[in-house]
Structure 1
């Protein structure tokens, strides 16, 4: 791995290298998906559709313009799976794997880029963290692939079952919504299957917690403590999973198009799965077009929130929302500091959380307004699709295959921004910021 780029180091900052790296992988994936070997005989794939598919896979989203299970050959499906793996773990993580295999030294510049890609505060122990990321990810995916394969052998030939098991384990752990069951069915055929649901939910949750959290949990028996970050992630993840499960169950309990026709066991698994998948996984076990509007709105909110920092998930992240609620609570209580688990959080963290949420809202609202003009469908469907793309979720109400050229390009932009990260993308596009040599006098304006 050698990322020594010619030119001024101020130009090739870590955020810019990360954004460029993802763009290069998307373009490479696009050309591979256009090869005749990638799609079924007699069916061509335009560059735009190949670019859209490669973007969706690399940004671990799952929105598709052609059916993955029936349109692509095993070669094309393998290309998509590799793009999902690279995009989920990060191209710098995969580059580090290659460097470690060939015993190459990780330079200081490369460590800086790794720090940016993993959203870490400093470089200390970054290579050790990357090794853990690779080990945990491949181990979890292997277990998931084995269980999936054994279960799918009941419905498919052994060879196909093994390939399906590997593909869906990689797709679900990396919180991508791609599936191979054909006809855009996703996991609807297994809505009440305990094995498929349980394994899928575990893969999604473990992928969405973040690698720092996984490391903390695995080493808890040795260290006997959890970091503030891990506690915050577990708190928000638990709240969102429980709240989503209860609300989906209440909203859809009597809906004949979703939960109404299912047994008690089916209702339980379908509600729990939908609560889990809405925060960036993209798979579904019920027909999304049959959901009630209250459930669709809840889904949009959950997609916007997403998973946790340093994970395979997208969205504004669970800790960002926790900080925002913490700031509101502190204001209502008349306190100057935001306190979590007896730790005071710095103002720069609050400002960063506020920046991410406002930036994300502006991006999604702007994209929704443009799509409302370019696409012939209702407002809620457009908002759902735009939020799904930004949150790198992959859930769809059926609009994606019928998008116009402008719509496809805009959705690609949303997926790219959601995967690279709003702050990283802003730093990549913005000129070098110099520190202000002075501070202005404090002023006051009326609020509220």
Structure 2
């Protein structure tokens, strides 16, 4: 009864945030327990909290080495936390409710809609089931491919070690978590193009967005069984085009900026995979095949921008999201062309979505820049490293120039705040502060002002 009364007092957004806060605290407690640590490891509470926040937000920034800190049981607990953070607490919660025979009411459907950034509440329970089953199948395929490869190439002496590493790597890549149990991310696979390719595919599938995956699934089903054409939604077209265009642009810019620096003397295939992998991983993956600290400043700034944009809505990733970026660019282009309507793929973007996009961009940029200024004031690190760290945290990416373990407690709290907000999304963050909508009973005369 108390839970019901509390849920009625709190808004759906507040309930979602409360669930993520509780999940973070529970994860902190579990990761803090000595039974999940390697022998003689003493993990402080703040470091356990940071690791839990990074896991729930599927960021991957770490103040401790996962391989050196947690034992096998601890890494499996961490993998479960990554599942909750990546797929969504309410996605897995819906499955648990169904198993327990609990009815999914209107209030719970509101929570699910907000958690998955959905505009409609129809078919949400079936949607959550499809997302969960699809995610488990994708991770299972990734585990089989990576585990079998590790076993075939004798990277690990036993089959259970090979598939254990394959399982954790597949989950980390698909959820775009960026955690690793190799001890050096994917540095040791810098020339292993099979492992890189599988990880890139898992990261792309995880960050392109669940709605896109479900539409592709429906397209393949109708084409095979119903023999009819399937019409993709404007959302699927826009976010997919933006997502893959940014990957191509990021790879080309990496090649351009690093051709006389890091890529100098590299073969064409080395240059290709370094460029492509870094472009993909900045979209929220966080796994690395090299030390990003050796890259030039233009490359680091470009990667920071890609991390700020982030993944697609209703995916495992953070950032302002691809659709926000796309709508802003399309609006600017429309303005330059003297158009008042924003059109793409024979559709017009709704004015409310345009308004939301600019609000999200401004609030996100303000939040990150305030964090950068504060970190620069309290931390002794170079400005570029701080900028990269802040953008990585907000984009829930997890790439770092190596300053994360040495941050002060205040600095760690700022980064944790950015990771948490990046995970729940700017819209949800703003809804926490937003008052209930009311219609004005009167209007003042409108007057034009000078802009720009």
Shared topology, TM-score over 0.5? Answer: yes
Structure 1 match to 2:71 = 73
Which range moves more in the overlay, 390-399 or 93-102?
93-102
Structure 2 match to 1:167 = 168
Answer yes or no: is the 8 Å Cα contact 1:84–1:171 preserved in 2: yes
Of 250, 256, 263 in structure 2, the residue corresponding to residue 259 of structure 1 is: 263
- Shift of the 378–224 alpha-carbon distance from structure 1 to 2, 3 Å rule, reads same
- Shift of the 435–373 alpha-carbon distance from structure 1 to 2, 3 Å rule, reads same
Shift, 1:447, TM fit: 1.2
Q: Does 1:216 align with 2:222?
A: no
Structure 2 match to 1:244 = 250
Of 372, 375, 381 in structure 1, the residue corresponding to residue 376 of structure 2 is: 372
- Shift of the 368–120 alpha-carbon distance from structure 1 to 2, 3 Å rule, reads same
- The whole-number CA distance in structure 1 between the counterparts of 2:292 and 2:421 is 25
- The whole-number CA distance in structure 1 between the counterparts of 2:433 and 2:18 is 11
Which range moves more in the overlay, 315-324 or 427-436?
427-436
Equivalences for 1:3-402 in 2 at 5 Å? 5-7=4-6, 9=8, 11-153=9-151, 154-157=154-157, 158-182=159-183, 185-221=184-220, 222=222, 224-255=230-261, 258-402=262-406
Answer yes or no: is the 8 Å Cα contact 2:7–2:15 preserved in 1: no
Answer yes or no: is the 8 Å Cα contact 1:16–1:429 preserved in 2: no
Unaligned runs of 5+ in 2: 223-228
- Shift of the 191–261 alpha-carbon distance from structure 1 to 2, 3 Å rule, reads farther
Shift, 1:431, TM fit: 4.0
Structure 2 match to 1:417 = 421
SS at 1:278 equivalent: helix
Shift, 1:433, TM fit: 3.9
- Shift of the 412–152 alpha-carbon distance from structure 1 to 2, 3 Å rule, reads same
Answer yes or no: is the 8 Å Cα contact 2:50–2:63 preserved in 1: yes
SS at 2:91 equivalent: helix
- The whole-number CA distance in structure 2 between the counterparts of 1:433 and 1:443 is 24
Answer yes or no: is the 8 Å Cα contact 1:280–1:394 preserved in 2: yes
Shift, 1:425, TM fit: 1.6
- The whole-number CA distance in structure 2 between the counterparts of 1:94 and 1:341 is 35
Q: Deviations over 1:183-237 (max 9, x none)?
A: xx21111112121111111101110111110011111131522110000011101
- The whole-number CA distance in structure 2 between the counterparts of 1:3 and 1:197 is 50
Pairwise CA RMSD of aligned residues?
A: 1.5
Shift, 1:104, TM fit: 2.5
- The whole-number CA distance in structure 1 between the counterparts of 2:163 and 2:218 is 31
- The whole-number CA distance in structure 1 between the counterparts of 2:340 and 2:83 is 43
Answer yes or no: is the 8 Å Cα contact 1:84–1:170 preserved in 2: yes
Answer yes or no: is the 8 Å Cα contact 1:55–1:412 preserved in 2: yes
- The whole-number CA distance in structure 1 between the counterparts of 2:240 and 2:23 is 32
- The whole-number CA distance in structure 2 between the counterparts of 1:435 and 1:36 is 55
Unaligned runs of 5+ in 1: none
- The whole-number CA distance in structure 1 between the counterparts of 2:137 and 2:26 is 27
- The whole-number CA distance in structure 2 between the counterparts of 1:34 and 1:134 is 28
Structure 1 match to 2:225 = none
Answer yes or no: is the 8 Å Cα contact 2:319–2:395 preserved in 1: yes
Which range moves more in the overlay, 149-158 or 210-219?
149-158
Q: Deviations over 1:88-137 (max 9, x none)?
A: 11111111011222332211110111111111111011112111111111
Q: Does 1:426 align with 2:430?
A: yes
Answer yes or no: is the 8 Å Cα contact 2:320–2:361 preserved in 1: yes
Answer yes or no: is the 8 Å Cα contact 1:40–1:71 preserved in 2: yes
Q: Deviations over 1:33-86 (max 9, x none)?
A: 111112111111111000000000000000000000111111221121111110
Shift, 1:430, TM fit: 3.8
Shift, 1:4, TM fit: 5.2
TM-score when scaled to structure 2? 0.95
